[in-house]
Amino acid sequence: MAIVVGNLVNTNCLTASKSAPSLSKENFSCLMGLDHNQAKSQIALKLAVTADDVKNYSDVNHAKVKLQGKEVGIYEQRGAAVMKAQKLSSATSAVKAISDHARDIWSGTLEGEFVSMGVISDSNSYGTPDDLLYSFPAVINKTWKFVEALPINDFSREKMDLTAKELAEEKETAFEFLSSA
């Protein structure tokens, strides 16, 4: 399994997978955990819980939080405390995200939970064009699988489509550069 980190991580991972055609595209993933962990931390701070209490974050519409032993949706707690600044340095945050990603690949995700993972978009149920490395909700048990067909609201759809467009443009630029080198 190849894990790619670094800016333009999606395009770098796609380029790496294209450069190793003898390896399955499913063996490549890129680090989405930094954004994932930062979002979970911000939600946790806002709700005065720990980041470990925030489960199944793919966007705020699907996150679940344990409050006083009960699991509730994020939007049920709109009036929670004002968001505080994240306490970890960017380097520490990146190391934790890499560690979490490697742990999830090695040990799998817990039953009933999923993570955000940058993987090949082929045959996804979210309308994202094929042949992009894109962040999807995934479950892992020796190999990753998409969490299929979570409902997507209009706001999230708009952001997802914009991200796909940007990634397709990055891909085109990168591959044009590589083909001329």
Note the pTM of the prediction, 2 decimals.
Answer: 0.77
- Residues 25-72: pLDDT tens digits? 999 998 887 777 777 888 888 888 888 888 776 666 666 666 555 554
Q: Where do the domains of the chain lie, and which CATH numbers do they carry?
A: 2-180 (3.90.110.10)
| Span 4-33, pLDDT tens digits | 887 788 898 999 999 999 999 999 998 887
Closest CA to 29 of 162, 136, 164: 136
Q: Give 9's DSSP letter.
A: H
160-176 pLDDT tens trace: 999 999 999 999 999 99
**Which strand (E) or helix (H) includes residue 145?**
strand 143-146
